[in-house]
Structure 1
Amino acid sequence: MHFDFDGNTPLYLQVAEQIEEAILTNGFKSGEQVPSTTEISREFHINPATVLKGMNILVNDEIIEKRRGLGMFVLEGARERITDKRRTQFYDDNIQPLINAARQIGLSEAVLAEMIKRGYADNGTDNQKID
């Protein structure tokens, strides 16, 4: 885990994002225990209440669960819920603005789709004009 203490993203959100990323990349699998609030706060010198606030986001999103006296564990299907959330976020943050920009300059859906296909095919290195 790595935290940006000087950045704009609150630490509790960074805690949630770091654990989420570890689950997404199979650092933590379904049923596995994640580091405790105390472990994270000690290792990274973060207030335990801040760490708990980040973990509670993941509890509310049904990514992890609290097991009284045992700790926090990754829920079954957590990886899929994270993927779904990120796909929705990707659409909202990237696709919808792309469509809006394409409409502003008069690109049809077909032309935009062709440009995306070309981008996948050549990794954006080919700057040929598409009519």
Structure 2
Amino acid sequence: MFDDRSPIYHQIAEAIKNDILSGELGADEQVMSTNQYAAYYRINPATAAKGFQQLVDEGVLYKRRGIGMFVSPDARRSLVEQRRERFFADVVEPMVSEARIIGIPLDDVVARIQAMRGGEPV
């Protein structure tokens, strides 16, 4: 599950975010405890705790004292909004910039995307 590209605690946070985005974890649903998570993935509990704390700090999870961690009610909406902004910044804006540099009219880019959406050959 984990790779060497980023710290494990960050990968834990991203995996939980993906579970929320996919609907595998819903609003106010309890998540595994840090100890359960650490045991399941065979990692240090402190590393798991750091990933969970990141999610608490971001407002994705909240703690119920003595009970555990839960998905925040608006976590999915917030994550979708963040990913949407990141998509436009990381994918669309560089694509538009490259199209301008090489002289492709934006109408052609839009037409190509629309053709892909409709299942038409590109």
Normalising by structure 1, what TM-score? 0.85
| Matched AA of 2:93 | Q
- Paired letter, 1:76: P
Equivalences, count: 122
Match of 1:129 in 2: none
Q: Distance in 1 between matches of 2:109 and 2:81?
A: 24
SS at match of 2:63: strand
Matching of residue 55 in structure 1 with residue 42 in structure 2: no
Letter in 1 for 2:74: G
* Cα displacement (A) at 1:121: 2.2
Quick check: 1:119 aligned with 2:116?
yes
- Aligned-residue Cα RMSD (Å) equals 1.4
- The 2-side partners of 1:35 and 1:19 are apart by 10
Superposition pairs of residues 59-74 of structure 1, within 5 angstroms: 59-74=56-71
1:87-106 matches, within 5 Å, as 87-106=84-103
Shift of 1:97: 0.9
1:25 aligns with: 22
Shift of 1:108: 2.2
Cα shift at 1:109: 2.2
**Are 2:105 and 1:108 equivalent residues in the alignment?**
yes
Shift >6 Å, 4+ stretches: none
Which of residues 13, 34, 37 in structure 1 aligns to 2:34?
37
Q: Displacement, 1:31?
A: 1.0
Give 1:41 deviation, angstroms: 0.5
- State the shift of 1:111 in Å: 2.0
Following the alignment from structure 1 to structure 2, what is the Cα–Cα distance between the partners of residues 65 and 114?
44
Unaligned regions of 5+ residues in structure 2, if any?
none
Match of 2:12 among 11, 15, 27: 15
